[in-house]
Structure 1
Amino acid sequence: MHLVDADGYKGGLWCLWSDRFKQVEVLEHGEQFIHLQIESIDHKTWEMTCVYASPRPSQRRALWQSLTDLAGRIQGPWCVGGDLNATLLSTERQSARETREPDRDFYRFIDSVSLTDLGFIGPPFTWKSIGNTSRIDWVLGSERWLVATTHRYMPILLPRSLEANYGLTEKLEKLQQQLWQELEKALLQESLIWAQKARSEWQINRDKNTRYYHTRANGHRRRNFIGALKDDSNAWIYDPKLIHARVLSFFTTLYEEEETHRVQLQCSVVFPPIDTGELNRMGCEISDIEIKDAIFHMGALKAPGPDILNALFYQSQWAHVGKSVCDLIQKLWR
């Protein structure tokens, strides 16, 4: 057995093999693959790469490049199998929310190293979540693999008893949906924790004489530093005093208004008056519903107010703090 540890909720790969093989040696591994050399009891040797690809296209591109480099060092039969998180045809992915194009990087990888899809037997899709189905599990073989194997195709075999409903029984279907909902909730909570932690660190350490403060201050200084400017003759000036004078002159001229005589515009547009009912509504007190709607339309993780609490706190705790917030706003309104 060989494993690649997960990074929090992301990644992680286990590779287990039967004792029917004479020898299994791990030649190389990365965050998304484990590459093995296998010798069977009849002394035949081949290489296999077990893959669990990232759902992020940028990380998958790094995987395809690693496997392309690996293919250049393989002399014998080679097959690649696992969750490649990619499709070749638009018919291999169905979504209720959006239409996704096939993975062109995946296609280019297969074409560049001359791999062939070994096919499969069973349901047309190998993965399903809420509103999405796709075929993202693959077994691919090299030309030497196809020549060496007794059958041209060695398909993935899914048990017939699980074929209904894309390979899941009704009980497993409900369990999978429940697990996906819990995972999505956990990932959301994790992202909110990190977002809150980043803002809390800024609130606590921003004005203290700490390494964090100096790092942020120096970063702002580097981004905002002006080392040179061009003058009116298009020549570069580097002297800080001349740069200061140049900036001052530019903005003084930009916002200075010339004394010119303006001709009074003749406007024939007559704006309709506001009736008494509308005026009364504009001057009436704010209702609790209006206050709640305004707070719930705010960005949840936007910059917090003086109390160091952003809108997410009030939205999630409205049942406890809503009355106090409404009373305070109505008091200020009066």
Structure 2
Amino acid sequence: MWNVQGAGKQAFMATLREIVRINNPSVIVLVETYLSGEKAQRICDRVGYSGQTRVEAQGFSGGIWLFWKREEVTVTPLEYHGQHLTVEIEKLGEAPWLFSAVYASPDSSIRRDLWRELENARQNFSGPWLLTGDFNETRSMDERHGVGGSEMQRRCINFSNWIEENRLIDLGFYGPKHTWSRGETEATFKSARLDRFMANEEWHLKFEDAVVKHLPRACSDHCPIILSTNGFAPIPASLKPFRFQAAWITHEKFEEFMKNNWNNSTPLIPFLSEFALKLKDWNKVIFHNIFRKKAELWARLEGVQQCLSNKRLNHLIVLEKQLRQEMENVLH
């Protein structure tokens, strides 16, 4: 799930491709997309997933896009609403469950309509139910920096009560505490945990190993969030398949490498195995391993954003901005 507020189109697509490459999700949710109609469809088609549906943006606000791999899951849309998209998800051989993708309006009076709509969804469905999205609320003042006052405290209490009244369970998270931030100085910097995954007890029991992770923010005001129903397990390096990287072609020394190492006179299959080893070595030594660079930047961003969730420090705000710009350059 990702609120793409503040993301430029080119940076958004580059970051989304990187997230998909690393995590390979079966279902993707994008909220606050701002786009509708033909412009939205052109971008949706570029995402490359076989299944897609969406709630159109209202003017230049809102918008919820849902993508899924039809070869892995069946998605049946049930309700389209300006602030939520509710569908039924079914994996081959498993019982279906309800899924609501949410973008809550910043307007509190409009947001109340969403709470009523979601309550109706709960009453009309007795099985497992998962919700995710930007709720534009926090459960407590501990989930915020830079915004206070009695009105905000009242909102926190009301949102927490609504969660409890509807018997929802916050699935928690790993990673930086806050999912949204804005501001480039200590005086203007604000952050909060506006985005989350929640579920009813039936869903929680069905997927008791589910884990949520806040990924570092790169090109948006909000961080991407990924949920794995089976937990996260690293892929051993020995099991990762060799893949040709299109970025290699852009390197000034790649053509020279090809001329020196390609051989048409030997049997193709054994030659390709040998050539792949040489290419991996060239990638590490000459190309400087762009994937390692990206991994280092993701890790540094996560660390800085974790610190900013706890305390606003000007040098960290400046560093985060530099790292985000560097990541954008690397992804392009």
**TM-score scaled to structure 1, two decimals?**
0.48
Structure with larger RCO (C-alpha < 8 A, sep 6+): 2
